[in-house]
Structure 1
């Protein structure tokens, strides 16, 4: 055996001996986190959790449900607008195709937003990605409100596209943001904020878009844009929203910045709590550097069943027709 081979063998042995205590230490630290750091609500954590949910998840759900009740009046407006501006006389089939495009562009851009959300959040940060959602929501709301006055079907389509993009980014970035600012023992609690916010948004949209409220021939544009109020309220104190400590530590390598954000989020806690979370992020950073590819995940038998279950739940939810119920129930009822 050569000297270089001996040195390599000694190096591997030393590395292995160092990794074993690290793994044991990690398990001990994880046990301490589970037993000692039960997590608690602080003013900063509650501010972030409720503010981010109300500013992104509720508007996303609102945009899903608001098109239902005023659909009849919006179709008539689209048809009349095309006649007045372009002298286009659409058949019933043409109107149906146009309306389908207006509705479906939200879902298409939503899919794009959700698929690119992780990359946006990793590159620009969780807080900045949340800011982009607000920009798209506000812009789309302005277009929703002004499209009727401008007599522009194009503005309505662009507004739907931007709203879908914002909704897709929200559903991808918000759960990530909330999970990373929450203590380990509270990630489940904050994790349900996003789906609850979406559901509340659909409910509020169904109420405000009733024909006796704003979902009539003269006020449907108000119904479509009302979510801008809650978006502006929640995004006004944007500078007080903390950045994700995990993103600062793992993606930017800013250990001191991550520590400062943790101290703000956790409030007056023992220094060991912050130390344990910093240690957990350090270990996770090492794991991230050795992350597997999509192919490795698909080939791993241990991950195959969880992956199938997750895909089955998500696919089953979408195939249940929930989007058709929220968006097209009025039109479907008329056909029946």
Structure 2
């Protein structure tokens, strides 16, 4: 999960260097300067194609990986995509091909889309019942921790400088190498082994690895009861869920909440925070340090949400988070519109960004994962 958060944030650090790379590559290739509007378009493609890759990863790759390679195999194969993407992004600068940068961003989006679906599935199936909520919380913490780490490593004193930004984009391969090194030692999902494959012996061995020889029987009995309740029913394909009335409202809830999170504007806030800080009068040299505050805010809320969720409840945190996000979006819209009237208005824009991220982290960003 850390890897996917890291992938989201590292593109923001070398923005000005990528702009310079696009200009120089275009001039060298076509012997004319790059139009500012076209430059904005190319940068928008580089930034947003990550999300398009994630969408393709969810719709096209998850079914193929999960049903052919199973849980652990899907996660292992997914790291090959991450390494290939890192290589393409790393060689884009020395080869002078910005198309490789776009292709690498698309592949790293596929990697994140597959991983963010398969990893919670694997974790949820191997974790004991009383720890599944905590494991979901851990995913949120590591996701926001990856975002913050990417922002730190992207500072110009580290890998965010002009000479090292290709290394920054390629550094996403290190979490992939770590997973390829350690994940093969983990067993396959016990639930998948028993319910989907009917392999009781392998399921027992996997549970012993996860829970110990003395404590695995309780988990084994829970999985057997679940298998008995299914009464031989085969796992449904994603498209078959839409015709099953028994899960219709659960499916609608998942779709609405997930769409709400993705369309909430949090990705736009992260991608365009640099421009808003620049409009607020922050010097270009200090903007990366101010941007660290956005990652720190979400990381802080992921840690504190676990303390509030038992007292306030998931539903109220999610509804309250969206209401606050709507409020701060409205404030941000007006402050950006009228920021030239008074010198203090740009600082309202900055405050609105941090307040928006805090509201997202306390509500949809963390509590929603607990609820789902």
- Matched position secondary structure for 1:193: helix
Q: Tell me which residue corresponds to 2:341.
A: none
* Pairs within 5 Å for 1:81-230: 81-87=25-31, 89-116=33-60, 117-230=62-175
Instruction: State the SS of the aligned residue for 2:231.
Output: helix
Match of 1:328 among 249, 262, 272: 272
CA distance in 1, matches of 2:185, 2:150: 28
Determine helix, strand or coil for the equivalent of 1:236: helix
Q: What SS does structure 2 have at the residue aligned with 1:214?
A: coil
- The Cα offsets for residues 160-190 of structure 1, whole Å up to 9 and x where unpaired, read as 0110000000110000000111122222222
Query: Given the two structures, how large is their TM-score scaled by the length of structure 2?
Result: 0.68
Deviation, structure 1 residue 62: 1.0
- Supply the distance in 2 between the matched residues of 1:102 and 1:148 (Cα, whole angstroms): 14
Asked whether the 8 Å contact 2:241–2:248 carries over to 1, the reply is: no
- Which secondary structure state, in structure 2, belongs to the residue aligned with residue 169 of structure 1? helix
Q: Residues 252, 275 of structure 1: CA spacing in aligned structure 2 closer, same or farther, 3 A cutoff?
A: closer
CA distance in 1, matches of 2:48, 2:125: 32
**Separation of aligned partners in 2, 1:288 and 1:175:** 23
Following TM superposition, the consecutive aligned residue runs of length 4 or more in structure 1 with deviations greater than 6 angstroms are none
Per-residue deviation, residues 195-243 of structure 1 (Å, max 9, x unmatched) = 2222111111111112332222222112222232233223213320211
The runs of 5 or more residues in structure 2 that have no matched partner are 280-335, 337-372
Shift of 1:319: 2.6
CA distance, structure 1, for counterparts of residue 224 and residue 213 of structure 2: 19
Compare relative contact order (CA 8 Å, sep 6+) and give the higher one, 1 or 2.
Answer: 1
CA distance in 1, matches of 2:92, 2:201: 48
- In 1: Cα distance, 2:175 partner to 2:271 partner: 22
C-alpha distance in 1, partners of 2:269/2:127? 34
SS at 2:67 equivalent: helix
- Kindly state the Cα deviation for residue 291 of structure 1 after the two structures are TM-superposed: 5.5
For residues 248-263 of structure 1, the aligned pairs below 5 Å read: 248-263=193-208
Matches of 2:159 and 2:217, distance apart in 1: 54
Q: How many residues are paired up?
A: 277
Q: 1:255 to 1:220 in 2, by over 3 A?
A: same
Report deviation, 1:326.
Answer: 1.8
- Seen in structure 2, the aligned counterparts of structure 1 residues 129 and 272 have a Cα distance that, compared at 3 Å, is closer
How well do the aligned residues superpose, as a CA RMSD in angstroms?
A: 2.4
CA distance in 1, matches of 2:195, 2:70: 11
Alpha-carbon offset, residue 118 of structure 1: 4.3
Alpha carbons of structure 1 residues 309 and 281: separation in structure 2 relative to 1, 3 Å: closer
Equivalent pair of 2:242/2:248 in contact (CA under 8 Å) = no
Query: Structure 1 residue aligned with 2:241, among 279, 287, 294?
Result: 294
Name the CA shift for 1:92/1:261 in 2 (closer, same or farther; >3 Å).
same
The alpha-carbon deviation at position 86 of structure 1 amounts to 4.0
Greater shift, 236-245 or 271-280, is seen at 271-280
Q: For residue 59 of structure 1, what is the aligned residue in structure 2?
A: 3
**Cα drift, residue 312 of structure 1:** 3.8
Pair member with larger Rg: 1
- Report how far residue 65 of structure 1 moved: 0.9
- The offset of 1:94, in angstroms, is 0.7
CA distance in 2, matches of 1:224, 1:89: 25
